[in-house]
Structure 1
């Protein structure tokens, strides 16, 4: 099984593929899925703000296209920020495919600096059992 450091390495590599010519703020994300695979993503900006796609959303799309829908852990890395937690929209996206205890690794250039959970990031996430 992949370690937090494996996810950090994958997120850092993914950030190098970011398309961020406007903000100059690359972000990479790496998801460990239930099937043991690692899926990565980088942010993709668009001149028509806010029509870009966050790194976490790209990684989730890769995971879904890979045939699985369950996140076991995720790492987020941005080289221009000491720690880069997921934005509000990405917190809900992560909650859709994980549970409150899923670990989120916030990384800097040296590796994982802080570990939080999806539940701590978004304590009152929309849950499918509440919609009906």
Structure 2
């Protein structure tokens, strides 16, 4: 199933309102679209011990895995920025792309289903679109352990 870009970005934007970001005040939401039409969202979760923070994409992948989803990832939407009065991220001029750790976590889920999902990163100026393999070339994954 093809996911509508704007719908998946809207799901990521809604997820950003649930971010727990008392230290950075930078809310990030992510939405994962699967081949069966399902969407799983996540928001960033900060921690007073900064290194223990979780990115929105990692939270979404963890939720998907906890629900038994082990493949079929076809699209990812990410949005981030300072929260507005409603808590929803108000993106700046440049896109927020998944960090290196999140690229690896997304790659693991994608490789389980043999997919190369499109990644949409929303900003105030528009939406950047790329494949996960462009963000993480020569990725290490499950196939490398065989």
TM-score over 0.5 for the pair = yes
Q: Distance in 1 between matches of 2:142 and 2:62?
A: 19
Task: Confirm or deny: 8 A CA contact 1:35 1:68 kept in the other structure.
Answer: no
Specify the alignment match of 1:88 in structure 2: 100
Task: Confirm or deny: 8 A CA contact 1:8 1:75 kept in the other structure.
Answer: yes
- How far 1:26 sits from its partner (Å)? 0.6
Q: Which runs of 5+ in 1 are unaligned?
A: none
- How far 1:109 sits from its partner (Å)? 4.4
Q: Distance in 2 between matches of 1:87 and 1:26?
A: 14
Specify the alignment match of 1:25 in structure 2: 26
Which is further off, 65-74 or 43-52?
65-74
Q: Distance in 2 between matches of 1:129 and 1:57?
A: 21
- How far 1:124 sits from its partner (Å)? 1.8
Matched, 1:104 2:119: yes
Q: Which runs of 5+ in 2 are unaligned?
A: 83-91
| Superposition misfits of 4+ residues, deviation over 4 angstroms | none
Q: Distance in 1 between matches of 2:107 and 2:130?
A: 13
1:55-84 deviation per Cα after TM superposition (whole angstroms, max 9, x unaligned) = 001111111122212211100001344310
Task: Confirm or deny: 8 A CA contact 2:74 2:116 kept in the other structure.
Answer: no
Q: What's the C-alpha RMSD, in Å, of the aligned pairs?
A: 1.6
3-state SS of paired residue (2:33): strand
Specify the alignment match of 2:81 in structure 1: 79
Q: Distance in 2 between matches of 1:45 and 1:117?
A: 27
Specify the alignment match of 2:67 in structure 1: 66
Matched, 1:114 2:128: yes
- How far 1:108 sits from its partner (Å)? 1.9
Specify the alignment match of 2:87 in structure 1: none
Task: Confirm or deny: 8 A CA contact 1:33 1:63 kept in the other structure.
Answer: no
- How far 1:122 sits from its partner (Å)? 0.5
3-state SS of paired residue (1:124): coil
